Chain A
Amino acid sequence: MRKRNVWSVGVMVLCMVVLFLGGAFAEDQLEIAFIRATGEPYYQYGSRAAEIAAKKLGVKMIVYTSNLDPAQELANVQDAISRGVDGILIYAVSLSSERAAVDAANKAGVPIFFQYGYHPDLLPKSAGFMQIDLKGFARPLGEWMAENIPSGKIAIIEGTLGRGDAEAYTEGFLEGLAKNPNLQVVAKVSAEWNRQKAYEAATNIITAHPDIVGMFVQNEDMAVGVVNALERLGKLEQVKIVSQNGAPYGLDLIREGKLQLTNANPPSIASVMALRILLGVIKGEIEPGHFYWAPTQLISKENLNVAYRWDASEEEIEEWLKLPLPEPVIPPPSS
């Protein structure tokens, strides 16, 4: 019993010391939580660029990872609020946890800005949403093929089906491709965003259709697998490939002439812009609750030098801080 009392007193004293010391550490600097869905490269590059931008803007940034777990994402939002952050920038795991996250943030009076996962009901309760137009993103790639390949067979290597994004990319690409009736889509295969599966898919497609002249590969990770497969089969010269993302390895393929065109949605500049909008909302300079299109860029060998790089240097990010912010737009009818 006596031992327990000693413990209790010790704990109480320590708590008082802690509270005293804690007060001494209080800071005036704005603090933003960057909550990313996973630690995959796309999000890593996004958080890295936002951290650099935050530092240049005199803002402290704390990065959390949700490991694709909506419960962990909500826990991260709650922890960020408990920590006393001034704003939350979030790449949501899915629509699922967004409502709970928005409610928690609203209750605490902390502005929350979403990158992707737009939902019309949540827009007025949030600092804003930013994402790409999925169909519109893939459409110019189809148009490029329609203009640059006179006729022949086309294949599409899709991401994971069932979430809506891969389907929307295909739909947009086909809309663009429809401008040339001499092009026929003869194969659509899902490689689930996976490089190895894309390698296998490309091999199978070439086996079934040796005269393929174009491929739309829905991300560059898969494009690397496709390029390897076509090189091995000696078909790389014959097949024109277009893809999406603008990742460092995608830009390398463009530089080497193995990928003809990519539509880039760099997480780096998007996160920097999202951070600037969120800070504007916090400071009362920007009205909350607006929708923005994320920056995108069509990149070919000709304009490779002006691409917004995922792994942008500090100097490049400093330049992005001077660019005009994206204008609010009327949100799409659904997510």
Chain B
Amino acid sequence: MSKALLALFGGRNVLVLVLLVLALTTGIVNPRFLTLQNALNIMLQVSVLGIVSTGATILLISGGLDLSVGSLLSLSAYIAGLVILRFQSLPLAILLAFCTSVGFGAFNGLLAATERAHPFIITLGMMTFLQGIAIAISRGSPINGMGGLYEIIGIRDFLRIPLPVFVFLAVLVVVDIFLRYFPLGRYAYAIGGNQEASRLSGIRVGRVKIILYALNGVCVGIAAIVLSAILDSALPTMGSGYELRAVAATVIGGTPLFGGRGSVWRTLLGVLLLGLVSNSLNLMGVSANLQNVVLGAIMVMAVMFQGSK
């Protein structure tokens, strides 16, 4: 009986089922949940997490991991804010934010490519390092006002859909194409599946890792710009927590931690689950003190079903 249930509800199906049950339950308690405006709210709310998680998916598929993405997001956004504050140049701000995120992303890749330690511990150290830089240069003070970024991306809609949602979907599509059709994308699966075999088959594993971590940095840079646009500000700790939520969303979606499998569309499901749970609990009026209990329980349940596949 239990095997039959697992076969029916295992893997991605269970996520769809959980999403459906949540949506219907919330809809019963508060019909406003089923409005287009709320659906757009959810998409907007998950867009930054979605972009960071898409980068995390690339790394997890290749057997890598980057715990410094939250700190890197904060640092990149803060540098963009500083440039806007000092030079009033939005293009320069965006350029420097990307230089920061891609540069440190590639540096993480370089460290991971040495294989002297697991990326978990390398990027844990980088997380502290980058957070320290962000706090040191900011002295803890936020920057309010991102020089027009708010008006360009933060509050702008296209066809009633918030622009950050389009950015997220564009990132998803581009990364999906990269993983499916580009040799580097295929190498990511190969390295995640069996690094030694990949090396023996002629793949330059170290170089591929550096590029994949740099691509993760691109995603972090985009997320930094989008988040600072939505909030019209930059804080030295604004990315705090994204590293774990991104890994959680990716794994809940069905990309295993040990690499070799996965896709960005699975990650989309994971991200939507996290966003939907939070939105549902808020709309159902569940006590703030209980929300983490429910969220944690749903995450564990989702991962357990994924693991059963």
Please tell me if the beta carbons of B240 and A76 are within 8 angstroms of each other in the complex.
Answer: no
Contact among A23, A99, A100 for B31, CB-based, below 8 A: A23
Contact among A100, A160, A163 for B154, CB-based, below 8 A: A100
Name the residue of chain A whose CB is nearest to the CB of B139: A162
**Assuming the A-B contacts A18-B28, A36-B288, A83-B282, are A97 and B34 also in contact, with contact meaning beta carbons closer than 8 angstroms in the complex?**
no
B232 at the interface (CB under 8 A from A): yes
Contact among A11, A94, A161 for B235, CB-based, below 8 A: A94
**Assuming the A-B contacts A64-B288, A83-B283, A84-B32, are A14 and B24 also in contact, with contact meaning beta carbons closer than 8 angstroms in the complex?**
yes
Please tell me if the beta carbons of A99 and B29 are within 8 angstroms of each other in the complex.
Answer: no
Please tell me if the beta carbons of A82 and B28 are within 8 angstroms of each other in the complex.
Answer: no
A94-147 at interface with B (beta carbon < 8 Å): 94-97, 99-100, 103, 119
Interface residues on B, range: 35 or more
> Looking at chain B's contact residues, is the secondary structure mostly helix, strand, loop, or mixed?
helix
A65-84 at interface with B (beta carbon < 8 Å): 65, 67-72, 74-76, 78-80, 82-84
Interface residues on A, range: 35 or more
Contacting residues, chain A, for B283 (C-beta < 8 A): 79, 82-83
Given contacts A65-B288, A100-B155, 14 further A-B contacts (CB under 8 A): A63-B287, A65-B289, A67-B241, A70-B238, A75-B282, A82-B33, A82-B279, A84-B32, A95-B142, A96-B142, A96-B235, A96-B238, A100-B150, A161-B140
Contact among A18, A22, A68, A100 for B232, CB-based, below 8 A: A100
Contacting residues, chain B, for A65 (C-beta < 8 A): 288-289, 291
Contacting residues, chain A, for B28 (C-beta < 8 A): 18, 21-22, 25
B56 at the interface (CB under 8 A from A): no
A330 at the interface (CB under 8 A from B): no
Please tell me if the beta carbons of B231 and A70 are within 8 angstroms of each other in the complex.
Answer: yes
Please tell me if the beta carbons of A163 and B288 are within 8 angstroms of each other in the complex.
Answer: no
How far apart sit A79 and B42, CA to CA, in the bound complex (Å)? 9
A129-186 at interface with B (beta carbon < 8 Å): 160-164
How far apart sit A76 and B45, CA to CA, in the bound complex (Å)? 10
Contact among A21, A79, A82, A97 for B231, CB-based, below 8 A: A97
A19-36 at interface with B (beta carbon < 8 Å): 19, 21-23, 25, 36
> Looking at chain A's contact residues, is the secondary structure mostly helix, strand, loop, or mixed?
helix
Please tell me if the beta carbons of B282 and A96 are within 8 angstroms of each other in the complex.
Answer: no
Please tell me if the beta carbons of A79 and B282 are within 8 angstroms of each other in the complex.
Answer: yes
Please tell me if the beta carbons of A11 and B154 are within 8 angstroms of each other in the complex.
Answer: no
B61 at the interface (CB under 8 A from A): no
**Assuming the A-B contacts A63-B288, A75-B45, A82-B41, are A19 and B142 also in contact, with contact meaning beta carbons closer than 8 angstroms in the complex?**
no
B38 at the interface (CB under 8 A from A): yes
Name the residue of chain A whose CB is nearest to the CB of B38: A82
Please tell me if the beta carbons of A11 and B20 are within 8 angstroms of each other in the complex.
Answer: yes
How far apart sit A127 and B41, CA to CA, in the bound complex (Å)? 23
Contact among B45, B232, B240 for A99, CB-based, below 8 A: B232
Contact among A14, A18, A67, A96 for B144, CB-based, below 8 A: A96
